[in-house]
Chain A
């Protein structure tokens, strides 16, 4: 993460404008609410009780502030960046691989944390996170974060697996059968980072410093590991519900996954559990960011305050199987989340997580790294058996 921060510093400095100039454009005081706010968000992130009645963190906000909330959902980080480039929105819930692109492209504005009374309640680990703080300037408020855990079937594993090796190397599982054809992996190029993360621990001689910053040799080693994994995997997963179905009907017993699936399967009394193995895990962290030309800055600030102070953090973390950015939301009963629930979702595993970011050629830890588009084409090749 420190490397990432350094890379942001460099890019910010090399840009004509520095953080200080940006800071001058920051909102300094709040005026009257404009009556509306439009947000680009991940599906399921902003619920007003229409999907399930108990999950509503919009209605009260609208009643209290008079700002009506309009939501535009986006399915990928690229879609979010495209929508923000197009303009016409006030806020976006950007993941780590989009947030820095938005800052570098000057599509978002600095946020004045003095105008957000609940800023102090934000998790200290997230306050200055490098995916939204560049050169000491905050470009948003933390929203949600979560790990990519190792989900496993407790009938096949007598003891919780301690290493990701169960999905990378052929082994005999606790039930005496091979793991071949019974493990899954994520069907997205970002999974290369999981392989790199595994190698970071098991082949230190490669010198991988960040799983998102790989030179050609490290990248090749990661691909070789993934080719080996291809022999074990019958089907890769990208849709949470298909993965759950594969665990139920296809005999799959272990896979990288999200707490979301673990919670749902456990809720159905399926013998399931999850762990973060010794190598650590990858994960995602999202930030509420404000468009540089936001037409409703007052409502936008009110919403950011609302995301931190209301039942949102607590109920959304239950709904999405994620972790609140305000630790108090786990325990103070503002919503449905409990301390145990937060622990299940990975609240205590922050240090073990390497948060998603977009691999770029100009990386901080090496001279030259393999950029993301090559991850895409090569991962397609790996899945195709090349």
Chain B
């Protein structure tokens, strides 16, 4: 009994000693203290500001004075369904879909090469090549693209040198996606979106392709599957989580961007620009808030679908 009593050492004195003892005795307390700052950040600053925004969307603007009425109403959401506003939503979401699909198509061969064939120094060059555009300023890249796509820009010059101006004109004559020149058409907007967000598609895709075991591909071929079948039934399903993870990036980034469509395109608004216009110049904060709810809802659906497809299993 005496020995047992000695095993419990007396508590150390001083505020640090005592608090250290208390923390050691209560592991849960320790965990709580560790998590408190990030939880406060996430809860108050992050979620809190989001909620403040959501609340705004249930207010409305007084048509007579232009002041915000702080009463619960769904009027602002009804306004969101006006054809002009619906246009903005459809335009933004469909651009995001097109950009995501084309990013997947362009990124797949690049990621596949990097995962399967690039070795040693080439792998480093590959990583550098993918990451390099991310290091330079976003605005500089977009202004550069504006010059490249301009009517008197380098791309038009190139087409002229190759005597292919007719081809470019034919493409630009297509209704909706075409326009007076590449830099004022949806086609141009999509090209720039694709360029800017492509690394975000390649990197997760490559990570998932590296995890596809080579012996499965060999087994598939041993069992008589042509390459197309192997791709369809082995590689693609196994690469799906990476593809979906990448598409979350490209999709949500396109959904939220308001700078690219402002510089390249036909001046038709995207969701981000509409938010900016309504809260910045019009003082119509409820409608701006309602507009920001749209990407949140769309992304919510998207993530739910992605989860069902198993995109987060690898996390």
- Is B266 located at the chain interface by the 8 A CB criterion? yes
Instruction: Name the B residues within 8 Å of A236 (CB-CB).
Output: 267
A192 to B268, CA, bound (A): 16
A233 to B269, CA, bound (A): 15
Which of A76, A251, A376, A384 makes the CB contact (< 8 A) with B151? A251
* Contact indicator per residue, chain A 84-105, by CB within 8 Å of chain B (1) or not (0): 0000000000000000000000
Which of B196-204, B206-214, B272-280 participates in binding chain A?
B272-280
Given the known A-B contacts A372-B66, A384-B84, are A189 and B146 also in contact in the complex, defined by CB atoms under 8 Å? no
A354 to B79, CA, bound (A): 32
Across the two chains, which residue of chain A brings its CB closest to B65? Answer: A361
- The reply to whether A251 and B152 form a contact with Cβ atoms under 8 Å apart is yes
Given the known A-B contacts A189-B281, A376-B277, are A384 and B147 also in contact in the complex, defined by CB atoms under 8 Å? no
Instruction: Name the A residues within 8 Å of B262 (CB-CB).
Output: 238
Instruction: Name the B residues within 8 Å of A331 (CB-CB).
Output: none
Docked complex: B160-217 residues within 8 A CB-CB of A: 179-181, 183-184
- The reply to whether B151 and A377 form a contact with Cβ atoms under 8 Å apart is no
- The reply to whether A384 and B282 form a contact with Cβ atoms under 8 Å apart is no
Given the known A-B contacts A245-B146, A386-B87, are A235 and B281 also in contact in the complex, defined by CB atoms under 8 Å? no
- Is A270 located at the chain interface by the 8 A CB criterion? no
Across the two chains, which residue of chain B brings its CB closest to A383? Answer: B267
- Is B61 located at the chain interface by the 8 A CB criterion? yes
* Pair count A-B, CB < 8 A: 100
- The reply to whether A384 and B87 form a contact with Cβ atoms under 8 Å apart is yes
- Is A240 located at the chain interface by the 8 A CB criterion? no
Across the two chains, which residue of chain B brings its CB closest to A371? Answer: B66
A159 to B71, CA, bound (A): 58
- With both chains docked as a complex, state the minimum distance between the C-beta of B63 and any C-beta of chain A, in angstroms: 7
- With both chains docked as a complex, state the minimum distance between the C-beta of A247 and any C-beta of chain B, in angstroms: 11
- The reply to whether A373 and B280 form a contact with Cβ atoms under 8 Å apart is no
A380 to B267, CA, bound (A): 9
A384 to B176, CA, bound (A): 12
Instruction: Name the B residues within 8 Å of A235 (CB-CB).
Output: 183-184, 265-267
- With both chains docked as a complex, state the minimum distance between the C-beta of B167 and any C-beta of chain A, in angstroms: 19
- The reply to whether A385 and B65 form a contact with Cβ atoms under 8 Å apart is no
- The reply to whether A384 and B61 form a contact with Cβ atoms under 8 Å apart is no
- Is B284 located at the chain interface by the 8 A CB criterion? yes
- The reply to whether A373 and B151 form a contact with Cβ atoms under 8 Å apart is no
A384 to B64, CA, bound (A): 26
Given the known A-B contacts A235-B266, A380-B88, A381-B84, are A78 and B180 also in contact in the complex, defined by CB atoms under 8 Å? no
- The reply to whether B280 and A76 form a contact with Cβ atoms under 8 Å apart is yes
- With both chains docked as a complex, state the minimum distance between the C-beta of B280 and any C-beta of chain A, in angstroms: 6
- The reply to whether B277 and A380 form a contact with Cβ atoms under 8 Å apart is yes
- The reply to whether B151 and A249 form a contact with Cβ atoms under 8 Å apart is yes
A110 to B287, CA, bound (A): 36
Instruction: Name the A residues within 8 Å of B181 (CB-CB).
Output: 234, 250-251
Given the known A-B contacts A250-B183, A372-B282, A376-B277, are A384 and B269 also in contact in the complex, defined by CB atoms under 8 Å? yes
Docked complex: B272-307 residues within 8 A CB-CB of A: 274, 277-278, 280-284, 287
A245 to B147, CA, bound (A): 8
A353 to B167, CA, bound (A): 46
A76 to B281, CA, bound (A): 7
- Is B150 located at the chain interface by the 8 A CB criterion? yes
Instruction: Name the B residues within 8 Å of A380 (CB-CB).
Output: 84-85, 88, 269, 274, 277
A380 to B82, CA, bound (A): 12
Docked complex: A159-201 residues within 8 A CB-CB of B: 181, 187-189
- Is A242 located at the chain interface by the 8 A CB criterion? yes
A386 to B268, CA, bound (A): 11
A361 to B65, CA, bound (A): 7
A254 to B181, CA, bound (A): 17
Docked complex: A342-386 residues within 8 A CB-CB of B: 360-361, 371-373, 376-378, 380-381, 383-386
A79 to B87, CA, bound (A): 28
Given the known A-B contacts A250-B184, A361-B65, A371-B66, are A189 and B267 also in contact in the complex, defined by CB atoms under 8 Å? no
Which of B61, B65, B263, B267 makes the CB contact (< 8 A) with A233? B267
Instruction: Name the A residues within 8 Å of B64 (CB-CB).
Output: 361, 371
Across the two chains, which residue of chain B brings its CB closest to A184? Answer: B267
11 A-B Cβ contacts within 8 A? A234-B184, A235-B267, A245-B150, A251-B181, A373-B66, A373-B283, A373-B284, A381-B83, A386-B83, A386-B84, A386-B87
**Additional 18 contacts, C-beta under 8 A, given A78-B283, A386-B87:** A76-B281, A79-B280, A188-B281, A189-B282, A235-B184, A235-B267, A238-B262, A245-B150, A249-B147, A250-B150, A251-B152, A361-B66, A371-B63, A371-B64, A373-B66, A377-B287, A378-B84, A384-B269
Q: Give the interface of A toward B (CB within 8 A).
A: 76, 78-79, 181, 187-189, 233-236, 238, 242, 245, 248-251, 360-361, 371-373, 376-378, 380-381, 383-386
Question: What 9 A-B pairs are tightest by C-beta distance, nearest first?
Answer: A381-B84, A181-B180, A376-B282, A249-B150, A234-B184, A236-B267, A234-B180, A386-B84, A235-B184
